Amino acid sequence: LVNDVVSHLIQGIRSRNGSFSSIERLGAGSYYEHVKISEPNEFDIMLVMPVARLQLDECDDTGAYYYLSFKRNPKEKHLLNFLDEDGKLSALKMLQALREIIKQEVKNIKNAEVTVKRKKAGSPAITLQIKNPPADISVDIILTLEVQQSWPPSTQDGLKIEQWLGRKVRGEFRNKPLYLVAKQNKREKVLRGNTWRLSFSHIEKAMMNNHGSSKTCCESDGPKCCRKSCLKLLKYLIERLKMKYPKELEKFCSYHIKTAFFHSCVMWPNDTDWHWGDLDHCFQKYLGYFLDCLQKSQLPHFFIPQYNLLSVEDKASSDFLSKQINHQLNNRFPIFQE
């Protein structure tokens, strides 16, 4: 159903010969990394738009958010319509334009009932709702620019996978294009909607789907590891806790869990560290690392080490989550039995 709707949209968007006629789709997020838990009712689809060259200027000290401008007149002339008065590429303008097109295009979809949900402030996604009784499906469409140029300096010391996946793989990853998503930087005093955030979804997906230090890990006849099972367990734990305490835990999302997971894969790089039979032991190790991060309010972004995903301002919610996890841990995870 989702594929049908998305293919239809992409065809419609491309046929307009406008600014977005070159978009491609990329499935990102948990469903496409095969670590989806619970219901398959949420999908992230990146609409990837190739851009020749961009100038990236950091807009804060995270190393994750950038202002984009053109060094010289771009081949893609239509992009000039989306510049703001300072000559920066406006994520807001691009999202609004794409949103309008999608709103018109969903009307042409005959075999499904699709609506575009109201815009959430600061969200990089255009969310579709597909009627599918008994439960609706939501699809987040994320506008992504794909730039064929080297990754910015803030990523230089990230992606420390040499011991785990090898130096060669790291080099191959870093040669892949740069992705930028239309994401508001919350730290900006005035939200002008012209910041973009680096995205590594394509690399994360590749690491998830090829996660062993030996090339045959988890292949049909290869040795099985429990890496993904550990990730799913922690995702499930946090998801259940978030349902119980939505207010206290709203700051946490699955990206925190995924980041801690990649760091754990680096700390315990061998397939023998994640033996299928040792699931409970491995899960506790990974959980221990995550608790450690919460306690220190320190979880460095896997690709941008200077960017801390757990800020000190959120110490109270980190402590709250810590307490809840420890309670589960000491009582043999009652939440898994509910």
The answer to whether residue 266 sits within a structural domain is yes
The answer to whether residue 124 sits within a structural domain is yes
pLDDT band at 165 (very low <50, low <70, confident <90, very high): very high
| pTM of the entire predicted model | 0.92
Q: Which has more pLDDT, 184 or 147? A: 147
Q: Are strands 137-147 and 24-28 parallel, antiparallel or unpaired?
A: unpaired
- Show which of 202, 237, 255 is a domain's final residue: 202
Share of the chain above pLDDT 90, in %: 66
- Which residue segment(s) compose the domain that 168 sits in? 1-202
Q: Is the pLDDT of residue 193 over 90?
A: no
Pair 201, 179: CB distance under 8 Å: yes
The answer to whether residue 208 sits within a structural domain is no
Q: What is the DSSP string of 79-148?
A: GGGGB-TTS-B-HHHHHHHHHHHHHHHHTT--SS-EEEPPPPTT--EEEEEE--TTS-EEEEEEEEEEE-
**213 CB-near residues (< 8 Å, 6+ apart):** 163, 164, 165, 166, 269, 270, 271
Residue 183 is predicted with a pLDDT of 79
What mean pLDDT do residues 171-180 have?
96
pLDDT band at 79 (very low <50, low <70, confident <90, very high): confident
Residue 31 is predicted with a pLDDT of 66
pLDDT band at 123 (very low <50, low <70, confident <90, very high): confident
Three-state secondary-structure class, residue 292: helix
Q: Which has more pLDDT, 122 or 315? A: 315
CA distances from 133 to 38, 43, 140, 317 (A): 17, 17, 19, 35
Residues 172 and 298 in one domain: no
Residue 190 is predicted with a pLDDT of 56
- Show which of 202, 222, 256 is a domain's final residue: 202
pLDDT band at 225 (very low <50, low <70, confident <90, very high): very high
Residue 68 is predicted with a pLDDT of 94
Residue 189 is predicted with a pLDDT of 56
Residues 65 and 184 in one domain: yes
Task: Write down the mean pLDDT value for the chain.
Answer: 90
What mean pLDDT do residues 203-216 have?
91
Residue 78 is predicted with a pLDDT of 85
What mean pLDDT do residues 165-193 have?
85
Count of the separate structural domains present in the chain: 2
Residue 170 is predicted with a pLDDT of 97
Residue 71 is predicted with a pLDDT of 81
> At 21, which CATH number?
3.30.460.90
The answer to whether residue 209 sits within a structural domain is no
Q: What is the pLDDT of residues 12-54, one digit of tens each?
A: 999 987 889 899 988 767 666 667 776 678 888 889 999 988 9
What mean pLDDT do residues 307-313 have?
91
What mean pLDDT do residues 201-229 have?
91
Instruction: Name the nearest CA neighbour of 174 among 145, 154, 188, 190.
Output: 154
The answer to whether residue 260 sits within a structural domain is yes
- Show which of 202, 235, 263 is a domain's final residue: 202
